[in-house]
Amino acid sequence: MRSKDEMKLRELEAGRNPFRVPEGYFENFNERLANRLPHKEQKAETIRLMPRVWRYAAAVVVILGVSVALYLNHDKHETIVAETSQEEYYNEALDYIMVGNMEIAEYLTEAE
């Protein structure tokens, strides 16, 4: 519901646009704006976040760290494999594939 005051205002404002632009305002707008801006030439400046020497040093440290970790892990893997006997290896493999001794014996007797 509109109040009486709102209706009176709308009647008075009917047909008129309250926002007016002066004549020819947009015709030379770009020129006026360009004249208001400062005319300083700005030089592009490069800022180095990290000197090249530090980048190369960081790369060498990362490569050495990965190499040492791989080398130490490789030695542990070889000692574990050397410690397990061949029989233990076969028992673990058979447990993994869930084949019992009876099934193996039956397979071998059928093959002969």
Residue 35 main-chain phi, psi, to 5 deg: -70, -30
Q: What is the per-residue pLDDT for 61?
A: 95
The arithmetic mean of pLDDT across residues 61-79, rounded, is: 81
* pLDDT tens-place string over residues 41-53: 777 777 777 778 8
- One DSSP character per residue, 3-27 reads -HHHHHHHHHHTT--S----TTTTT
Q: Where are the alpha helices (DSSP H) in 1-112?
A: 4-13, 29-36, 52-83, 86-97, 101-111
The single-letter DSSP state of residue 43 is P
* pLDDT tens-place string over residues 16-43: 666 677 788 888 888 888 888 877 777 7
Q: What is the per-residue pLDDT for 3?
A: 79
The amino acid at residue 24 is G
In the predicted model, what is the mean pLDDT of the chain? 77
pTM for the model: 0.29
Q: What is the per-residue pLDDT for 75?
A: 62
Q: What percent of the chain has pLDDT over 90?
A: 9
Higher pLDDT pick, 65 / 52 = 65
Q: What is the per-residue pLDDT for 44?
A: 79
